[in-house]
Chain A
Amino acid sequence: MNFEAINESLPLYFGGTLTTLKLLVVSLVAGLAVALPLGVMRASPKAWLSRPAWCFTYVIRGTPMLVQLFLIYYGLAQFEWMRESIFWLWFKSAWFCAMLAFAVNTCAYTTEIIAGAIKATHAGELEAARSMGMSRRTVLWRILLPSALRRALPAYSNEAIMMLHGTSLASVVTLVDLTGAAREMNSRFYLPFEAFVTAGVFYLALTFILVGAFRAAENRWLIHLKPRQ
């Protein structure tokens, strides 16, 4: 192990960590925001609502994120009309493309998680609410979503960790995230083992922090489902 080289590259890794975290937070928040309505649609018994949502998740979950990222970053840039449209202001930036690809991806998975949690809701819970005179809308906001979202928490924590790992793809579209930092260090010192082990340690630490945060969240919102001591 060449610790001197690692030490010298540490600023690179800290910068990379910041990029990774930015990508992660933005894509998770955006993905979740869109996944909420999509998840409700997907769980709906009406085919015209659930089918389009199913289509979206099927295509996104059926193709590698690397392909989606390349399609958005290099693929769309191929078209002249795209480069001349106002959207280009955003699509020009590797940041935006990476965030979009990651957000779309996590959105598809989160949609399925939320839909699954909604479908697992006890029918009696909803019947009780309806018989208390709540409107459908009130049932959705007060009963269905709060309980479904809580139950979705463990699955969602897995998704967030998968997403943290997914952001490592940002390095293939010129962004210098944690993995990008490792590749940079490797090409500077030709020390692949040190470079990637260091990145691995950083990711492991981030994973533990995420796991810890979600455990705290579960203790706060899922305490009622814990096995009794």
Chain B
Amino acid sequence: MKNLFRIIIFAATSLVLLVPHACAAQGGEKKIRIGVEGAYPPFSYMGVDGKLMGFDIDIANALCKEMKADCTLLQQDFDGMIPSLLARKIDAVIASMSITEERKRSVEFSDKYYQTPGRFVAKVGSTLEVTAAGLSGKRIGVQRTTIHDRFATATFPKSEIVRYTKQDDVFLDLIAGRLDGVVVDSVAAAQGFLKTPGGKGYAFSGPAFNDPKFFGVGAGIAVRKADTDLRDQLNAAIKSIRTNGVYKKIQDKYFDFDVYAESAPSGKKK
């Protein structure tokens, strides 16, 4: 009896130890695991067939092609991106992540690959004044750990900041009337919400937010601090798709304005 128990214990422990080995990363050349999101249209979203698409996804694929790297896109929630990167589950994050000082303390960023300001979205005809006093006591929805989360938390201290894992869920709750407003990227709001049937009756309100303290200098690709090689490769790849027309092609597929520049797009276009 005792021997048999030993065998069982041995089998169980070896299973526990072996499972992760089977999935060990085959280290070495040009295999890059990229963290992407999936619920952040038009930058990344799931198509009807379950395939990922969007601006971030196309940029990721274009950069990989440029670097001749073998990339795998791994989908996960935004608030898990930096932990996953630091935990070496992924090697790069292409998820509309803004380059901020706060994040730079933990990770390294490539140059920006696009830049758009943040905006406040509320019901059409909302009389809310987009100031700390005007929004006092109101419920403001943000996606957890985003620049909009940090910005709203610091700028509207008297409001209740409600945090969600997915941007789509923030919009769902805005429609449901559980939120008085949402602080969100202007393009994500315009293309992913206001222009869709669900976004009818909602509009931008207040000014465009682009205080570099919170909003940084555009969205970049996050890598681990030690991976300066990868960062340099990514920078070179961004530069070359900017010049060889690939970037423009991708941009025109999703936007009718220059998403790379700092100029804020208005939600009314098209």
Contact = CB atoms under 8 A, between A and B. Distances in A.
Instruction: Consider the complex of A and B and state whether they touch directly, i.e. have CB atoms less than 8 Å apart.
Output: yes
A174 interface: yes
Interface in B157-201: 162-165, 169, 172-173, 175-178
Contacts of A77: 172-173, 175-178
B86 A190 contact: yes
Interface residues of B, number: 19
A174 B177 contact: no
B173 A187 contact: no
Nearest to A180: B163
9 contacts: A74-B176, A77-B172, A77-B176, A77-B177, A88-B177, A92-B178, A94-B178, A186-B83, A187-B79
B176 A174 contact: no
Nearest to B82: A190
Interface residues of A, number: 16
B220 to A, nearest CB: 17
Interface string A171-188: 010100000000110110
Most chain A CB atoms below 10 A, which of B83, B86, B176: B176
Given A77-B175, A174-B164, A186-B79, 19 more contacts: A74-B169, A77-B173, A77-B177, A77-B178, A92-B176, A92-B178, A93-B178, A94-B178, A172-B165, A174-B163, A174-B173, A183-B144, A184-B163, A186-B83, A187-B79, A187-B144, A187-B145, A190-B83, A190-B86
Nearest to A94: B178
Interface of A: 74, 77-78, 83, 88, 92-94, 172, 174, 183-184, 186-187, 190, 192
A93 B144 CA distance: 19
A223 to B, nearest CB: 37
Nearest to B176: A77
Contact of B87 (A83, A172, A174, A192): A192
Contacts of B131: none
Contacts of A88: 177
B228 interface: no
A86 to B, nearest CB: 14
